[in-house]
Amino acid sequence: MTRFALTIEWDGRPFMGWQHQAHGPSVQQAVEDAAHAVTGEDVLVHAAGRTDTGVHALGMRAHCDIEKPFAPFRLMEALNAKLRPHPVAVLACEVVPDDWHARFSCVARHYEYRIRARRAPLTVEAGFAWRVVPPLDVAAMAAGAAQLVGRHDFTTFRSAHCQADSPMRTLDRLDVVADGDLIRVFASARSFLHHQVRSMVGCLSLVGQGRWTPDDMGAALAAHDRGALGLNAPPDGLYFLSADYPAAAVSG
């Protein structure tokens, strides 16, 4: 039995998220079906994190155990062949130790949220960014974001359906960066609560529009109350960027 680590990219629009769903297609099911077609084995694929319906990934990390011998490159090529026509691709494949786990070994997760500040409807970026009508005060958004960095009770920014045992999380990074009319919000933490990134971005958009002050972000955080949330951003602009792990021996 060999454990393989996969790096996976996908367009989230056709899927109900990463995890298996009884009521619709999931990325996990697509990858597991491809693995079964390649190996003839019932393969369970574990990912670094779950994603919601419509959320994209540029570098999700996952792992699976396979009995048949495969060179990592050949496994990657075979999986990609069987994943067609799903908008899912395996970007990298490595052999990892048997105790390496995509979820439990992960020490940091990184997300990006893309806002397009323009009046015109999105065309080629429809489903891949959130259009917010300008003007947006990016400096004010950055000041509001800074109030959330650190270890806090994020109840306000947590979905009512979140299954985490505790609302306490340490947010290592929440940066707002503008490039023309593209505003990118980068968030990093060891782990996130359900809807946390989308909820933080939604409220930051209110700051950018002048409907909230930067201090209102801190007040919402201190309320520890989902009712204090101003807005939950849509999934369209959210991307799982990458996951970090302790240095470990791998072989390609």
Name the active-site residue from 52, 137, 179, 225: 52
Distances (CA, A) of 173 to 12, 113, 145, 151, 169: 24, 13, 9, 11, 12
> Residue 146 corresponds to which tokens in the numbers above?
């800074």
* Neighbour-count burial of 22, counting CB atoms closer than 10 A to its CB (0-12 exposed, 13-18 middle, 19+ buried): exposed
* Neighbour-count burial of 50, counting CB atoms closer than 10 A to its CB (0-12 exposed, 13-18 middle, 19+ buried): middle
Active site residue 52: yes
> Residue 154 corresponds to which tokens in the numbers above?
């994020």
Q: Kindly report the backbone phi and psi dihedral angles of residue 131, in degrees, each rounded to the nearest multiple of 5, phi listed first.
A: -85, 125
Longest dimension (CA), the chain: 58
Q: Are 207 and 141 within 8 A, CB to CB?
A: yes
Cα dihedral: 231, 232, 233, 235 (round 10): -170
Number of H helices, E strands in the chain: 5, 10
Distances (CA, A) of 165 to 158, 170, 228: 12, 15, 21
Q: Which residues are catalytic?
A: 52
